[in-house]
Amino acid sequence: MPPHMSKTIDMEVLASLCKRRGFIFQSSELYGGINGFWDYGPLGCELKRNVKDAWWKTMVRAREDVVGLEASIIMHPAIWKASGHADGFADPMVDCKECRKRFRADQLCEEQGLALIKNGSAFALPADAACPACGSKNLTEPRSFNLMFKTFVGPVEDESNLAWLRPETAQAIFAQFNNILATARQKVPFGVAQMGKSFRNEINPRNYTFRSREFEQMELEYFIRPDEAVKLICGRVATLADNPDLAGEPQADWGWEVWHRYWVEQRLAWYRAIGLPAADLNQHWQTGDELAHYARACVDIEYAFPFGVQELEGIAARSDFDLSQHQKHSGKQLDVFDEALKQAVDRLDADAKDHCTQRIVAAWTGRGKSGEEARAFAVKLYEGKYVPHVIEPSAGTDRLALALLCNAYDEETITDEKGKTDQRTVMRFHPAIAPIKLGVFPLVKNKPPLYAKAREIFAKLQRRWPCFWDESGAIGRRYRRMDEAGTPWCVTVDFQTLDDGTMTLRDRDSMKQVRLGISELIEKMDAEIG
RNA sequence: GCGGGUGUAGCAUAGUGGUAAUGCUUCGGCCUUCCAAGCCGAUGAUGUGGGUUCGAUUCCCAUCACCCGCUCCA
């Protein structure tokens, strides 16, 4: 059963807070805005940076088997031909004005025995073309729905200078695979991570920042041995049926299925670690026709947004499709030499190899591939070479930031000792991603020694974390302002601080206060921010 | 892309064919020994463009943006 929001929030109320406090602004608002683009304000950019830092720390720096890449956004257009984006994005579409269904113009004409009229790069429908659904001839002209943003490299705007803004960051990793392999001192299995902007000319941006035309991705391409190589090296291939320990160290005998599941578990654990409750996360295992033709498996990690359960990240087992595509289109080899594999196959005699080849041919033809392809793969395998397979956890940074904002938003009614009730709006961010970690206040601002002491403490703490100084208004007001910014703690410097150095630490979620000294404070914050 | 709705200050609302109002916020000052206290003051708006009119924030048209539903989401 899909999860639902444990609380309901109105997206307009959240958007209003995001604007009021400086998390998210509409792009180009001064000029009336531009559809599908958003800006992050002072608090929002800190939030997003914290998300990216947490991802990079977990996925790259905390691991020995993953390295980073930062590729250009504009790349050789051939990359998008090889990946399939250039063709898949360029179909001319027509809409039926009567029943409002949309069709690919070329398919519609072909079904009706007609020819699509082409004038240069523009298309037109023959007069007899009719809507396949309702039969109406009241159709729009064919329009190209290329979802990649076009641009021109150099000052001359002609086809030879055409380039695209990347619609995903992943392809650069495949295109730079050989360079990374040669320089990173990694061996399969290993991964390459990249974060950065991508661009898709979405037909219909919707749901606040959820579907934007410019967005940021955090992608990992984790390269693994094909199962056939694992089998030769280890004598067996572990599957999920073997109950592998997915939380422990990865094992050499893991097949693609285990590796895929391993990354699903890793990613879910990370989402929980930055504060998304398990109850609001969902795994959607794609089946049959949902799967891309080259994908063996794909899991969407979904979050229960107020506007529905929607995808945060897709974790796909993409076989060797991507590297093979680039191998074909570039004419360059993108296989690896695996010493362990070579040693394993060298122990086999000719009979054993024949037997192995037969098994591979049988398995491959069973999946609809040709026997010839299978035999070519086997020959390479006996040289210790293969094109690595890949597991791709691909997350949307902005979607995650939005999920974190939705999850953090809370309103509560509080009652004071006199029985007076009051509404409190509080962003309950996990300390690791909170834009500001600590508010620092002098209890009053018109007592110079107290004020000076507070400034001194602020200066000390600000060197370690993003802190916010606030001396304006009553103390309660300052706490509430920090609540809306999602600041987990505030310290207030009072007269006792001048005597013994202790101050009050006020907790955002419980509003409880404790007295502690600066070293205890630093220790506590280090522990909780992580 | 289609249909419906909405655009007045940072936010929430009011109002008008003739000087655009209020609350909160923000900023400054006074005060203030721990949860949006009080007092004084300040900044700040009719999405954009065109039309009708002596005069348009108000009426009309277009456009842009946002929201809802459909569609789309390689």
Give tens-digit pLDDT for A2-27: 455 556 778 888 888 898 888 999 89
Closest residue by C-alpha to C1' distance, nucleotide B28 = A472
Does at least one atom of strand B sit less than 7 Å from the CB of A34? yes
Q: Which amino acid, residue A147?
A: L
* A326 three-state secondary structure: helix
Which nucleotide is nearest to A474 if distance is taken from CA to C1'?
Answer: B32
Chain B nucleotides close to protein (CB under 7 A) are 1-2, 7, 10-12, 25-28, 30-38, 47-48, 64-74
CB atoms within 10 A of CB A399: 23
Write down the pLDDT at residue A128: 74
Which nucleotide is nearest to A414 if distance is taken from CA to C1'?
Answer: B35
Does at least one atom of strand B sit less than 7 Å from the CB of A414? yes
Does at least one atom of strand B sit less than 7 Å from the CB of A492? yes
pLDDT digits (tens, 9 = 90+) for A159-172: 888 899 999 999 99
The percent of residues in chain A predicted with pLDDT above 90, rounded, is 67
pLDDT digits (tens, 9 = 90+) for A129-182: 777 666 667 666 666 666 888 889 888 888 888 899 999 999 999 999 999 999
Does at least one atom of strand B sit less than 7 Å from the CB of A112? no
Distance A353 CA to B64 C1' (A): 68
Write down the pLDDT at residue A500: 92
Nearest Cα to Cα of residue A407 among A216, A506, A271, A264: A271
Quick one: average pLDDT of A468-477? Answer: 90
Does at least one atom of strand B sit less than 7 Å from the CB of A510? no
In angstroms, the Cα distances linking A128 to A115, A118, A231 are 10, 16, 58
In angstroms, the Cα distances linking A9 to A225, A309, A424, A502 are 45, 14, 15, 39
Closest residue by C-alpha to C1' distance, nucleotide B12 = A16
Which nucleotide is nearest to A493 if distance is taken from CA to C1'?
Answer: B34
Write down the pLDDT at residue A91: 61
Structure tokens at A99: 């029943």
Does at least one atom of strand B sit less than 7 Å from the CB of A483? yes
End-to-end CA distance of chain A: 33
The residue written with tokens 């979405």 in the block is: A202
